[in-house]
Amino acid sequence: MAKLNQIIAVEKGVKSKSVQELAQANQTLQKLPALSGISRTYQPKDEDGEQFPPESTRVQVKAEEVLRQVAAALTRLFDVTATKDWTNCIAKADVVVEGRTLLRDVPVTYLLFLEKQLKELQGFVRRLPVLDAAESWTYDASTDVWRTEPVRTVKTKKVPRNHVKAEATEHHPAQVEVYYEDVPVGYWTTVKFSGALPAKRVNELLDRIEKLQEAVKFAREEANGTEVVDQRVGQAVFDYLFQ
């Protein structure tokens, strides 16, 4: 008895072949001369008249025959697809993560959906903002955010000072140079806050996603090992369509 994964592997090839054969049949039926035939003979008006040999062209393409060929080609596709879809209705497996059964009797179609969603979720988690590793962060429950320890810095102000380069004399005024000195005038106390996540938390989330991804893939393989419910629907369809 064939397995679901074997039918899935076969389906693509059957579909490709049926598409080609249908296209070929359509192309064949467009060749109108090939569908036509003729037979004619010549008879002179009197016995002494000129004689001409008979002429004939045989019909090369018969539409009914092409229909039978199309039906034969598509019947296989209809049967394989029906077998896959019927079996998908009963193909199920449990999703087990680290010995814990997270989901029971999950249909194979939903397992495929889960795989896709988990991949997108993985990309989302990888883009989550992470706390700056250059800072030391602690969680502040009162504000529900992360915060750093207070850091005190000096606030300065530039104050002009005079530097006498040369004292005044009887003939020359004093030479004075003005410069600015940074003088402490106060203190800033800074606390940084962040709504980002610790790198450890992001890594934990990614680890869980990866474990679930592996479990879903394993479950899908198990479900795809279900013995197929063999279906023969193509003949019934084409017996009705082309009768």
CA distance 32 to 36: 7
Domain boundary assignment for the chain: 4-131+197-241, 150-190
Check if the beta carbon of residue 180 is closer than 8 Å to that of residue 160: yes
> Counting beta carbons within 10 angstroms of the beta carbon of residue 104, is it exposed (0 to 12), middle (13 to 18) or buried (19 or more)?
exposed
CA distance 29 to 64: 11
Residues 6+ apart with CB under 8 A from 59: 34, 35, 36, 37
- Which amino acid appears at position 234 of this protein? G
Reading the block at residue 121, the tokens are 């979720």
Residues in the chain: 243
CA distance 67 to 37: 19
Q: What is the pTM of this model?
A: 0.68
Q: What is the pLDDT of residue 50?
A: 83
Q: One digit per residue, pLDDT tens: the chain, 243 residues?
A: 688 888 888 888 988 888 888 888 887 778 777 767 788 887 888 887 888 888 888 877 777 888 888 888 889 999 999 999 999 889 999 999 999 999 999 999 999 999 999 999 999 999 999 999 999 999 999 999 999 999 999 999 999 888 877 777 777 777 878 888 899 999 999 999 999 999 999 999 999 999 999 999 999 999 999 988 888 999 899 888 887
Q: What is the pLDDT of residue 169?
A: 76
